[in-house]
Structures are given as C-alpha cells and as structure tokens.
A and B are shown apart, each in its own frame.
Chain A
Amino acid sequence: MLKQLSVFVENRSGSLMNVTNALLDADINIRAISSFDTPEFGILRLIVDEPEEAKAALTARGFVVRVGDVLAVELEDKKGSLNAMLKILADGNISINYIYSFVIRENQAPVMVFHTDDIEEATQLLENHDLIIVD
C-alpha cells in the first residue's frame, strides 16, 4: 500500500502553488499529483517521497491534510494492461473511488494509483493475478 496526501484547497488562483511551495520549502519531492474539476473547493491528491514530513510541513502552514492508504499498481507499458487490471477489480466487484497515474522513471513503468473502500480485498485480488503492488 502507498501513502497518499489529501489536501483541502479552495478554488482560486495560487492555491495549488501554495501547496507545492510549502512542500518545496520542506524539501519534499512530489511523485504524482491529481485534482478534479469541482466547484468552490477541491481535494488535491499527492504522492510524495516523505508523506508524514509533508503533512507536518503543510499542517504548520494551516492546511488541512490527510495521509491515507491508496493502492498503486505497476503496469506494463503496453495496450490493454490498464483494462486487464480494471477487469480483475470489476470481476471482484470492487469499485474505485478515483484513479490517476504516474511513471517510475528508473524502469519506465506506468503506475496506476487508485482509492477504494475495499483496499485489503483489492490488494489480495491483484496479487493473486501477479500484479505488482508498489509501496
């Protein structure tokens, strides 16, 4: 399982930058970032190298921050691999709350990050199908 940061942000100019700036000052490396088109406020999701330090740095600046578990699966960079992963989950009746991706530079592999309410079950299912869970 991978740790993800969720940060409450208001929809106005500069609010994302305020987050990244605080992380820069705390010498935190961002691996992935995602946010969705929502009215008035949103939740910024981040994968960083030091999640607890990042939370401390952001909280000290007055942000509301949550560190939580997400599943990250390393896929092969070829057609159909995402579909195969999603099929395993769908067959197992696991629903996904949100999903985004990033790339591990060293081995050029795409990583799908997703959140589900059934994290244990999903992990088990994916491992049974020999998928690589990143942590």
Chain B
Amino acid sequence: MTHLKASLLAGTAFAVALTGAVAAQDVPREDTVIFDIDRTIRDPENFNPFTPGVKRQHGAHQTMWEPLFILNYESGEIEPWLATSFESNDAQDEWTVTLRDGVTWSDGETFDADDVIFSINMALENEGLSEREPATIRAQVASVEKVDDLTVTFSLNSSNPRFILENFANRIFGSFLIMPEHVWSQAGDPATFAFNPPIGTGPYTMTSMATNRAIWDRNDDWWGAASGFMDLPEPMRVIFLESGGEENRAQLLVSNQMDAAQAVTLGTFEAMGFQNPNVIAWFNDLPYAWPDPCARQMEFNTTVAPWDNADMRRAVAMLIDRNQIVNVAYEGTTQPSRTMFVQYGAMDPFIDAVDSAGHAFSASADVEAAQALIEGMGYTMGSDGIYELNGEELTANIHVNSASSEYTRTIDVIVEQLNRAGVNARAVPVENSVFWGEVLPLGGYEMSYSWLSCGSVNEPWASMNRYTNASIAPIGERAPGFNNTGRWDTDATAAYTAIVQDMGTMAVGDPAIPAMVAEAHGYLSAEVPFVPLVQAAKLLPFNTTYWTGWPTAENNYNHPAFWWGSAHQIIHNLEKAE
C-alpha cells in the first residue's frame, strides 16, 4: 500500500470516527456485481420509466421492475415471468394474459390485475407519456378489462398476432412496465411524477442513486423465492456504474473493479485479455462480438436516377464485398449478412428458407456480373476508369451518420469498392440529428447507411413490414415510422406487400411462414431497395474473476445485453467464482 493511499484511508477512518458518519452498509466485493452504464444518470431522483432519460437501464428494469415475459433470442420462445401465459381469440384482436399468483411489490402489496389495468389505462389516457412503450400501447390497445384478480383481457384496435411480443416480452431493450396502482394512483400528472422512492416486484430494491452510479441491494423477502418461482439471485448487491468511456471500461475490468462493460473495440478487448485472462466475450474467438438486433444495410432512394432502376441497384449490391467490410471496417468482429435479418438462432428457419430459395446475398463481390449489368444499361467505361452515359459520369453519393467511426469506416470501404469498379462514389457524412431528423425520414439521399430493417429478432414480420407500400410518403415528407424511406413502390413492392400483409395476420410460429418469407424476400433480392451488409457487432466484455455464468454462445440461455430488461435472467444465472 502506498503512503498516499495509507494516509487517505487513515484520514477517512479518522473523519468517520470524528463525525460519527455511518457509511452505507458494506457489501464485500465478492458479493457485489458491477455493471457498466454508458450514460450519465442525469436525473437520479426520477424513476418514471414512461418519459425519456436514463431512468430504466441504470438497473431499475434489470433488478427492480420485472417484465410480464422475456423473449429468448436463442430459442425464439416467450418465457413467462410475472405472467404465466397468454392467448388470443381467433381474430387475434383480443388477448388474454394470466398473471402469476403470489407476486408482491417490495412494500408487501399484492401485484394483480388491478395494477395491469391501471398501468394500461394510464398509458391510454396520458399522451404526455412519450416513451416508445406507452406510445405503442396507445396505438394498439382499445381497452383493457379485468376478468379476475389474475386475468386481464386486452381489446385491440386491429388484429395483431405479435401483441404480446411487441409490448410485454422485452423484444428490444425493454417492454411496457406495470406500475403499482397503490402508488401511481396518488400521483398527479403521470408525465411529471418522479416515482421516488420507487418500488418494484424484483429481487432488488434501490439503495442509493447518484448521477454516476446506482446501487441496488437484494431483497431477501422477494416473492419469487418465497413462492418457489426461482431462488434468490446470488449477488447481494448490484451496482450500475458509469465508466466514462472505452479506456476507463478497460481499466476497470482489468483491475477487477467492474464485471460487465459496454461495447469496446477489438484492440481494447485484446489488450484487456492480455492483462486480465478472466475477461471473456460472447464467442471465445473471432468474431468475439454478439450481433445486436439491428443489422447494417445501405438504402437506395428508388426515386432518384439511376437508382430508380432495379438492375443498377442490383449491380451495386453485387459490387459490395461484405467479407472485406467485415475484415477492414470491423476487424473481423462481425459476420456478413445473408439476408435482411439479424442472424440469431430464432431467425435461422427464415434465413435458411431464403437461402434455400436462392435469394440470399453472397458474402463476396461479383464485379464482372455487376459491370455487365451496368454496361447493359448503356454505360461505357471512361478513360479514367469511371462509367459514363451521354457524357455524364456514374456517381453515387452515400449519406452516412458521422456519429460513429463504425458507420463511416463501413461506407469508406464501400466507396473504395465502388470506385474500383467504375462508380464514382463518395461518402457524405452528416451530423446525427440531421441524419435521423431529415435525411432518412424525408428521403433526402441517393444512398444511405442505416439499419432500418431492424425489428425482427424471433419472427420475420417486424422487419419485412418496414418495406411495404402501405404508407409511402412523397419525397420531402416524413416516412411514417421511418418505414420504406427509399420509397420503393413498384409492382414487385405490391406483390411483396401482399405476402407480408398475409403473414402479418398469421400466428407467430405458423409453419407456413418460412416459405412466405422466402417468396417475399425474393422480391427484395431482385429489386434491392436496400443492400444488407453485415451484422452489427457488440463486443461486450465480461469478467469472470468474481462471477461466472455470463451469457455466451456456449452458455446461451439468452443474449448478453445487460442494459435491457431481460438482464434479470443474467443476474439470476450469475454464480460466485470459486
């Protein structure tokens, strides 16, 4: 121990003795699990999950608030948690959810149908609750009724086979959270209610909050252990700590001051591995990273010549070498996309169906075939190696969000590939807010880097529905929900839409769906309104010094996104390292 540290510790001990101040109850490091948060908790006094801000991912929806269901990304199953089952009527516009018996809030009050009814009605009646989840409830639910203390029935505005998945199963990031009626009914405006101190049904309660960390301590009276649903999780304390950036994450993991960190680059991960062999990731070897749900792609504005021609779009798709993007832009930490979908285990049947039908995209480029397509359109190669038609060069401006080097590096590789093949391409970096606020929704681009087919993780409809002709806005007007921003609207779109809309009425898991996916994807592959590029890489380091049982490709009880509401499963799976 250095003199400095010794003096500081001595000083602290003296000060505590002097003032009589009592520190928060000490929990040994080996009983504490420390997660990373990548944002500041700007308002640590506010626990209203229905308004924007860091109000859930600081541990609240991973430890204190529990979901009704949790989607398993590997099996595709919706696993029960606070609820035990769900079923719909034949029209799938009425859904009945059965709640688990014996659930209590941490203050001892019973969790039952009244809480669900109250929470849903609160979302329906208060437009000020502006987060995605209450907004989705308002768009989909007409009314909710209590059948008995443990049963509620939702009446929807229209048929929706994915109602539970979209609202209550932690499909992406979180789900609609049920709030305690006995607390929220006393609040005034729910949009400004801070819900402090917060309570939940989870196995942890809030101990202390600050702008850079949240401390949650185990509630040994948790209903789940008492009712036999599940053992108490092993960690006595869960801390979510703002690390401050990649370099800090690395230092904290290397020095065992953190157990799970947000994404890092390959170089950082390898450097961490050299210094601390207990640091692991989803895969043991390259690509190491877990793919996040939003696979990367490149959109075409199908109203702008020459990209209004499907052959020209197909040519560009063939010029792109996805393997090279993986190797250069991602240093091997991801995989080429074969279809529009994220490549999770639950998506395999659909991806395989597209592949079997011959509609999957190749990982390597076919420059000769692409050039033949371009030349078939009348273009000739100029002396400078760029195609020309009627004296005009073939150019491609690719808009890219400049907020991350991941995006710009990918587009730089593509620009290089297109230039080498005779297309005078250039990247157009755009500031984040302009990119999401104007370029994409208004169709203000020729080509653009994006992940707009994001949505599907265990069924295909959510992603496929984003490219139908159901609501195509004119260029310059906002594309609803950021869907089909490239305004793909041909006969093929109509045929594609018909299949996808049929699919939309079918139950999740209907055996006819994979074949329909293959047929619909055939239109996408033929007309290429967007080019699937690569899977999105999230290289999440976990530290096994104090805790084992982290989610990995081998121990794949679910995905490793520990800032999502599904992280209850991660915490319950953690075991003390021996």
Q: Answer whether A and B are interacting partners.
A: no
